[in-house]
Amino acid sequence: MKWGVLSEVYVAVKSLTRQKGILFWVIVFPLLFYGLEVAIWGNPQPETITVGVVNLDRPVDVGNGTLCLGDTFVGAMRESGLFKVVQFNSIDQLKNAVKLGRVDIGVVVPEDFTSQIMNTSHALIEIVSLKTPWASYYESVTQGFVKAYSDEVRNRTINVALTYITGSIANNTANSSWSIPPEYVSYIERFYDFIKQPIRVSEEKLEPPLVGSVGGIRAYYAIGLMGIETLFIGLSMGIFAVIDMKREGTLKVLLSSPLKSYETLASLTLATLFYVGVSCLAIYLFSLPLGADYNMSAGTALATVALILVGALFIIGFGLLLAPAARTPEAATAIMNMIAFPIMFLGGFTVPTFLLPEWIQKFATAYPLSRTIEAVRQMLTYGKGPLWALQYSMPAIIATVVVYAVGVIIYNKLVALAMEG
Amino acid sequence: MGEVVVEDLVKVYRDGVEAVKGVSFSASRGITMLMGPNGSGKTTTLSMIAGSLKPTRGKVYVMGFDVWGDGWVEARKRIGFAPQDMPFRAKLTVLENLVWYGLIRGMGLGVARRRASELLREVGLYEHRRKRVEELSGGMRRRLTIAAALIGDPEVLILDEPTSGLDPGARRGFWELVERLARDKVVIASTHIAEEAEKHADKVIIFHRGRIVAEGRPDELIERHAPLARIVVKGDLRAPVEVEGATLLSSSPEEQAYTTRSPETVLPRLIEKLIEGGSRIESVEVRKPGLEEVYLRLTGERLEG
């Protein structure tokens, strides 16, 4: 064997820990990716379901007090560990929350819930859910819970009935000609029907404006992809801004030109916005023949452009905050990968936010780029208005102004440092 | 007072290296060359004049504007800078690269395009305008560099080692181009080739270890610091001879070298005496003094490429 064939193996072994790019791609990235996968999809289903409840049930007098089975039902939901219960005052509020995805599913306890059960008549629980593929899981869990509660009611009713029937039989055994009085027959029939399923479920499927349809889902993911592109392009510009110009030698030329430092940054920013714009437009155009269906109007289109612009400016600024750590192109690449990939998952760009675990959802709601992209989604797939989207994005807009401004200061410092030689 | 004035320029890098140690000079219209070996402080000085490297101390005025003071924008508008490896965008064509430089200089797209086309015609690259820069030869790339530095019609052209890596023919062609295109401009260039400075510079500033050791017109410098010509005789030689006005520098049976202030007068008498002494002469070479010798005299070191 010629040792020469192992020369590259030698180089690879030596490079593994010394070259950060290789270390990242060979070891750090797969671990990171796997960790995220486990965190996001490791559990077969979300641990708790956020259920919105409207409890309209009225208490019923039971001799020594009052009884409100609606309260008992909601309490049982809370104690089950399956649900995080959010109470609403009206059915409209509940439906609105379901439509906006603020709760996974809605439950309405009717005002005659207790009285119906006390009269051994069927009580009706209404379940409100979105007509989406992923709502079926929430429905089946909720229905399962209602059924279990219904079974509990049945068992108790049977126990009460047994006590009553046993007493009746004892009182009437002396009378051999005793038979069930005819006026009791219909009651007994209703009782048997009741105990088959004391609580029944009615379902109302809400039609989400778009996202429930195939077209809506495809638009939903296309918007997510726009977020990913904005993330990668913007972050890359921010992190590489100065280091790339130094490497290419263009910094020398720019420094000797009449351009001011902020003008060069503006030029870079515009170039980045151009790339982001082209990329988003390409995604949009590509998604149309694939069936994506957007709630597009002049207003929503304008707001979409504005929100993506805000998201891009934020991420450029965010990249500039990281730029001082990128002292070499290799370091810049490593930082870029280390930051961009986790955000891609944590920010709810690749996976719908509502499928993410709650702690990730919090990040996705708070992270400015995710928030602007979510606002675009709400507009283009849930049918929210441009003003709502802009209002929802206000914290992201404020964060963008702050982060970009700090980014400009850092950029100027880096350029000044480069000027020092 | 020149159009470019450099006063007591000092550059100490963050690692403590003092690259330029108090340099002062001025440059007027014509070609001023900073001559010195690599590491003598030429590039650092040019970068500080061009505005891309901040001096630790000192002042640079371009057309009266302080490059590192309040007038920096006006000063930079008047500067065309071509660093050692002029950066060009790999994915852009020759014409597009010049347009890009035009935009950096503040030109509108249409104006930049027109000016870029004009310049490409002037430097003889118009027919290559659609090529990528990487497809150009070294000489062509240098011509493009000149065009890029000239695109903003600057009054001051700063060229850092512009002919480095070119063969003598291409170097000559390059300087002819500079002389043609920038005859009314202040051109400040750096070189480590003495012959180049001697032939093309109106003024030479000699750098040695971050300091200026001499400056002046090339002929003045030679006259002042290395006035003696060298006569080298080769053949089957006998003992060296004594001739008035000539001094023996070295001697061997194959080669003798003499120095003299007036080779025209000394040479006939020297050859006559050598032949009389029994030497058989194969060749005689008169080496006129140049900036190379000046550098050697001033620094005790050779000016290496």
Q: Which site among B43, B54, B150 would you substitute to test the A interface, given the most A Cβ atoms closer than 10 Å to its Cβ?
A: B54
Q: A255 vs B52: CB contact, 8 Å cut-off?
A: yes
Contact residues, chain B, for A249 at CB < 8 Å: 83, 85-87
Residues of B in contact with A256 (CB under 8 A): 50-52, 76, 79, 81, 158
Do strands B229-236 and B255-260 pair parallel, antiparallel, or not at all (unpaired)? antiparallel
Spatial separation of the C-alpha atoms in residues B256 and B279, rounded to whole Å: 11
Least trusted range by pLDDT, from A82-96, A244-258, A348-362 = A348-362
What's the pLDDT band for A120 if we cut at 50, 70, 90? confident
pTM: 0.72
Q: Is pLDDT above 50 for A7?
A: no
Q: Answer yes or no: do B87 and A421 touch at CB < 8 A.
A: no
What pLDDT score was predicted for residue A231? 94
- Rounded Cα distance between A2 and A17, Å, is 26
Of B192, B166, B172, B171, nearest to B305 by C-alpha is B192
- What is the band of A133 on the pLDDT scale with cuts at 50, 70, 90? low
| A3 confidence band (pLDDT: 50, 70, 90) | very low
Of B11, B52, B106, the CB nearest to A252: B52
Please state, in angstroms and rounded to a whole number, the distance separating the CA atoms of residues A224 and A228.
Answer: 6
Query: What does the pLDDT read at residue B1?
Result: 52
- The Cα A145–Cα A123 span in angstroms is 15
Per-residue pLDDT at A40: 60
Alpha helix positions (H), B11-163: 42-50, 72-77, 94-104, 109-122, 138-150
Highest mean pLDDT among A41-45, A122-126, B161-165: A122-126
pLDDT for residue A408 is more than 70: yes
Strands A83-87 and A105-109: unpaired
Q: Residues B54-89: pLDDT tens digits?
A: 999 999 999 999 999 998 999 999 999 999 888 888
Nearest to A46 by CA among A416, A352, A375: A352
Report the chain A residue with the minimal C-alpha distance to residue B77.
A258
B104/A253 touch (CB, cutoff 8 Å), yes or no: yes
| Of the listed ranges A351-360, A389-398, B104-113, the one predicted with least confidence | A351-360
Q: What is the ipTM of this complex?
A: 0.81
- Distance separating alpha carbons of residues B208 and B302, to the nearest angstrom: 11
The residue to which tokens 């159009």 are assigned: B3
d(CA B146, CA B158): 10
- State the first-to-last Cα distance of chain B, in angstroms, to the nearest integer: 32
User: Would you say residue A23 has pLDDT above 70?
Assistant: no
The per-residue pLDDT for B166 is 83
**Interface touch A256/B13, C-beta < 8 Å:** no
- CB B50 to CB A419 under 8 A? no
Q: How buried is residue B265: exposed, middle or buried, by Cβ count under 10 Å (0-12/13-18/19+)?
A: middle
d(CA B207, CA B42): 7
Give me the total of CB pairs closer than 8 Å, taking one residue from chain A and one from chain B: 58
* B81 has a chain A CB within 8 A of its CB: yes
Q: Is B216 helix (H, G, I), strand (E, B) or coil?
A: strand
B11 interfacial to chain A (CB closer than 8 Å): yes
Paired tokens of B23? 């340099």
Q: Which two tokens stand for residue A341?
A: 């990939």
